[in-house]
Amino acid sequence: MDYTVSNRFVGPEEYWSAGKDGIRLSALDPCTVLGLAKLIEARGKNWKAKDVQIDKFFQRFYSKSKRNNKATSNYDELSDTLHISFDPAAKGTGIELNDHILLRVDRKRRQAVGLIFFEYSLLAQKTEMGFRSFPLSGLAGLSDEAREMILQILQSSPVNEYLKISAYTPSATEIIPITTLTYQEVVPGFTGPI
């Protein structure tokens, strides 16, 4: 595969990265980096799933008999990805909130249909100061109308049962929206946030 692989420590955490031809991959362990590299090898540089592929996934693995008013979740340990679906049959558009969180919305109904957490173990990891917060950097690229809709969805049920939205203010004039996972048991046997 000809990737240049390296690792580094940030505090007690070890991070692995691999790069080649302008592609830079990173994860908490070498197996995940290798998995990403194989995924890119198999699917090409546009390896991320498209909205229609995500919709098909939810339709295939979450049958109508499983649907009710409760969210359903599926954690894939190999890819460290947590899928939460509020309405598995609904078509959704993916809104990348940041590199780790994808919000799926039905724009016509202005409702969330799901959340996808990439590198979930990193998001859910508690530090000595508490749970981690992450900037919602994806909001900056949205139109004012879309940003307003997404913020409303993020602050409403069912999304606010999984994500807590707040703001970091590095100065009196700068406000950066951030999020933290809330504490719930979504992954069977996992009792960290979410």
Could you read off the pLDDT of 132-153 as tens digits, one per residue? 899 999 999 999 999 999 999 9
Residues 108 and 90: their CA atoms lie apart, in Å, by 11
For the cut 90, the answer to whether the pLDDT of residue 116 exceeds it is yes
Quickly list DSSP for 28-96. Answer: SSHHHHHHHHHHHHHH-S--SPPHHHHHHHHHHHS-GGG-SSS-EEEEETTTTEEEEES-TTS--EEEE
Maximum mean pLDDT: which of 68-72, 86-90, 184-188:
86-90
Residues 102 and 138: their CA atoms lie apart, in Å, by 9
Tens digit of each residue's pLDDT (9 = 90 or more) over 97-106? 999 999 999 9
According to DSSP, the residues that pair with 181 across neighbouring strands are 163
pLDDT score recorded for residue 67: 43
Taking CA atoms, 175 is separated from 135, 136, 166, 172, 178, in Å, by 11, 11, 10, 8, 9
CA 41: distance to chain centroid? 22
Q: What percent of the chain has pLDDT over 70?
A: 86
pLDDT band at 61 (very low <50, low <70, confident <90, very high): low
pLDDT score recorded for residue 36: 81
pTM: 0.64
pLDDT band at 38 (very low <50, low <70, confident <90, very high): confident
pLDDT band at 54 (very low <50, low <70, confident <90, very high): confident
Quickly list DSSP for 96-125. Answer: E-SSSEEEEEETTTTEEEEEEEETHHHHH-
pLDDT score recorded for residue 136: 96
pLDDT score recorded for residue 93: 93
List, in order, residues 6 or more apart from 40 with CB less than 8 Å away. 23, 25, 47
pLDDT band at 113 (very low <50, low <70, confident <90, very high): very high
CB 162 within 8 A of CB 182: yes
